[in-house]
A and B are shown apart, each in its own frame.
Chain A
């Protein structure tokens, strides 16, 4: 863990942010994840301050965040920034981000014919929406689960958008367990679940005390052992199990074997921050 913290501290860019690779352009997502991971690290106080300053400096006038400084439109990474800033200090920037989140939503289908067609081809209720990656798009699992976690972090738990976001996640679950990126079915078959979407959706539902057959099936998917071993997959599983207070010994042993000499996983500050959150 200390080597991973060393890597994160060393890979912070001069502007205070982190990229998806050492020396890469600073993005809001890896910066927010690193900020969440480093709040436990007493030696990282100055890094945390610089990260907060970076995030605040690129907040847009509408209260949201683009994905990086050059991005001139607010989108899904707003949820990361709100979560990270709210977790590290209560501030006006996070509150303005919350307002943006509550105002934004994925496309909602209301035409009955279209609703029926979408139900047939994708097996979803298109009247229910969550959050999208970018404005004017359909909703997807990752930004929806992330927005719910951000809103939980600022204690927004009873808002209608929150209730609909939870319904969205439950509606889009794959019947056999877990979540793909959005719809569970496409034309002729169920889509396969993905580990990051399933972990994040489960974390979001857990934050709002939702436990049912859908979450149990998804947990079984995450617990399966026949998957391709990557640091990213193990990091997301381990973070979820940590949140659940479930045993993480096996995941941590796997992560240890995948950790690089520089202390990172995949040389990627984002993956490293996710892995670190499973031990904090």
Chain B
């Protein structure tokens, strides 16, 4: 019997190794499909070649300080998009109003941003919009949070995204096994969306930042209160879909971290005076910076790590240029939310 040569043996071993590796990858990716997994992975690798993301920090000790000036500087430092003549939707986090729980974006931040965009950037039109999570009617929350008074003062319309006209948008990513999603027309047809979240911890996603805040743009009339139907697709997967499929051509995130919320978030946590505003166009880079500011390593936060792996933005500290105030000076160690 002819003996097998050393070269053939090596070839066989190599071929076997490739096959075994392929089988492992196939098995690991079976639930999402190898093609999608490859697409996400390749985009994630390609993202490493993109220019670094720019994130700006501003130090603002209190809501009584000059928030407008801070936003003006932050906007420049963050290399924000040109919104002159744009139709802009401002989306604060108005999840609920609970006494002594800083769970929502303070109206002073939204008001200063309205003034800046309208008077200095000269946007074409702007509205403040939100689809509340727990209460079906927004009016009590708008009154209790001070938003109604502020909006009347600024003569800005509030749009309830839970009951807006519906637009069906295609979902590009394939993360959540959904082909399309109903979205509020106000958002779908805007030129720009500005996510204005509260800096806080969250019992499902560890932190709640500019990406988690996007849950408010899907209509509660369809997906229920608290839009749990979408949680059933996996929170991480669904948020990746939302971020990947946002229909607005331009976007920006401005995080209200002047007073953040730690512990039992998103509602019942305790206040943390962080004295920070965080801004940027790359929502993932903004949330990663927010996580660092709260004392967390963003690469250990599953939702952020997954989106970075899939190429939806940057979380690597070496791929984010932080401008403005020093992160180390604003950093606080937030207490995590208890997990469910």
Q: Which residues of A pack against B, CB within 8 Å? A: 19-21, 24-25, 27, 29, 67-68, 70-71, 75-76, 121, 132-134, 136-138, 140, 142-143, 180-182, 186-189, 192, 194, 196, 227-228, 230-233, 266, 271
Cβ-closest 10 pairs across A and B: A133-B224, A20-B163, A232-B137, A230-B139, A25-B165, A228-B140, A134-B229, A137-B229, A230-B140, A228-B143
Given A140-B224, A142-B136, verify A25-B338 contact (CB < 8 Å). no
Chain A residues within an 8 Å CB radius of B203: 187
Q: Is the beta-carbon distance between B137 and A137 smaller than 8 angstroms?
A: no
Chain B residues within an 8 Å CB radius of A143: 224
For this complex, 17 residue pairs linking A to B, each with C-beta atoms less than 8 Å apart, are A25-B166, A67-B221, A121-B340, A133-B224, A134-B223, A134-B224, A136-B232, A137-B228, A140-B224, A143-B224, A187-B338, A188-B264, A194-B135, A228-B139, A230-B139, A232-B139, A232-B140
- The one of B182, B221, B224, B228 in contact with A29, judged by C-beta atoms closer than 8 angstroms, is B221
Chain B residues within an 8 Å CB radius of A132: 224, 229
B48 within 8 A of A: no
Determine the distance from Cα of A128 to Cα of B163 in the docked complex, in whole angstroms: 30
Chain B residues within an 8 Å CB radius of A140: 224-225, 228
Q: Is the beta-carbon distance between B229 and A133 smaller than 8 angstroms?
A: yes
Nearest chain-A residue to B225 (Cβ)? A181
Nearest chain-A residue to B338 (Cβ)? A187
Nearest chain-B residue to A73 (Cβ)? B222
Q: Is the beta-carbon distance between B143 and A24 smaller than 8 angstroms?
A: no
Determine the distance from Cα of A250 to Cα of B137 in the docked complex, in whole angstroms: 21
Given A180-B134, A187-B203, verify A228-B144 contact (CB < 8 Å). yes
Nearest chain-B residue to A28 (Cβ)? B221
Given A71-B182, A133-B224, A228-B144, verify A24-B165 contact (CB < 8 Å). yes
Nearest chain-B residue to A21 (Cβ)? B163
Chain B residues within an 8 Å CB radius of A187: 203, 264, 268, 338, 340
Determine the distance from Cα of A25 to Cα of B182 in the docked complex, in whole angstroms: 13
B168 within 8 A of A: yes
Q: Is the beta-carbon distance between B137 and A230 smaller than 8 angstroms?
A: yes
Interface of B is mostly: loop
Looking at A121, A187, A227, which has the most chain B CB atoms within 10 Å of its CB? A187
Given A71-B182, A194-B134, verify A231-B163 contact (CB < 8 Å). no
Nearest chain-B residue to A107 (Cβ)? B232
Determine the distance from Cα of A24 to Cα of B185 in the docked complex, in whole angstroms: 11
Report the minimum CB–CB distance from A224 to chain B (whole Å). Answer: 14
Q: Which residues of B157-211 have CB atoms within 8 Å of chain A's CB atoms?
A: 160, 163-166, 168, 182, 203
Chain A residues within an 8 Å CB radius of B164: 24
Chain A residues within an 8 Å CB radius of B137: 196, 230, 232-233, 271
Determine the distance from Cα of A266 to Cα of B229 in the docked complex, in whole angstroms: 28
Q: Is the beta-carbon distance between B232 and A181 smaller than 8 angstroms?
A: no
Chain B residues within an 8 Å CB radius of A230: 137, 139-140, 143
B295 within 8 A of A: no
Q: Is the beta-carbon distance between B223 and A70 smaller than 8 angstroms?
A: no
Chain A residues within an 8 Å CB radius of B222: 67, 71, 75, 134
Nearest chain-B residue to A71 (Cβ)? B222
Given A180-B134, A194-B134, verify A133-B139 contact (CB < 8 Å). no
B14 within 8 A of A: no
Report the minimum CB–CB distance from A142 to chain B (whole Å). Answer: 7
Q: Is the beta-carbon distance between B224 and A137 smaller than 8 angstroms?
A: yes
- The one of A70, A121, A189 in contact with B166, judged by C-beta atoms closer than 8 angstroms, is A70
Nearest chain-A residue to B133 (Cβ)? A181
Nearest chain-B residue to A232 (Cβ)? B137
Determine the distance from Cα of A180 to Cα of B98 in the docked complex, in whole angstroms: 14
Give 1 or 0 for each of B259-272: 1 = CB within 8 Å of chain A CB.
00000100110000
- The one of A71, A196, A228 in contact with B136, judged by C-beta atoms closer than 8 angstroms, is A196
B324 within 8 A of A: no
Chain B residues within an 8 Å CB radius of A70: 166, 168, 182
Give 1 or 0 for each of B119-152: 1 = CB within 8 Å of chain A CB.
0000000000000001111011001100000000
Q: Is the beta-carbon distance between B139 and A266 smaller than 8 angstroms?
A: yes
| 8 further contact pairs, Cβ within 8 A, besides A137-B228, A189-B268 | A19-B163, A21-B163, A136-B232, A137-B224, A187-B203, A228-B140, A228-B144, A231-B139
Report the minimum CB–CB distance from A192 to chain B (whole Å). Answer: 7
Given A29-B221, A188-B264, verify A181-B139 contact (CB < 8 Å). no
Given A181-B226, A233-B140, verify A137-B268 contact (CB < 8 Å). no
Nearest chain-A residue to B98 (Cβ)? A192
Chain B residues within an 8 Å CB radius of A189: 264, 268
Give 1 or 0 for each of B221-239: 1 = CB within 8 Å of chain A CB.
1111110110010000000
Q: Is the beta-carbon distance between A137 and B134 smaller than 8 angstroms?
A: no
Determine the distance from Cα of A147 to Cα of B140 in the docked complex, in whole angstroms: 26
Determine the distance from Cα of A180 to Cα of B133 in the docked complex, in whole angstroms: 12
Q: Is the beta-carbon distance between A137 and B232 smaller than 8 angstroms?
A: yes
Chain B residues within an 8 Å CB radius of A227: 140
Q: Is the beta-carbon distance between B225 and A133 smaller than 8 angstroms?
A: yes
Chain A residues within an 8 Å CB radius of B264: 187-189
Report the minimum CB–CB distance from B95 to chain A (whole Å). Answer: 12
Q: Is the beta-carbon distance between A76 and B338 smaller than 8 angstroms?
A: no
Nearest chain-A residue to B224 (Cβ)? A133
Chain A residues within an 8 Å CB radius of B221: 20, 27, 29, 67
Determine the distance from Cα of A29 to Cα of B136 in the docked complex, in whole angstroms: 13
Report the minimum CB–CB distance from B157 to chain A (whole Å). Answer: 11
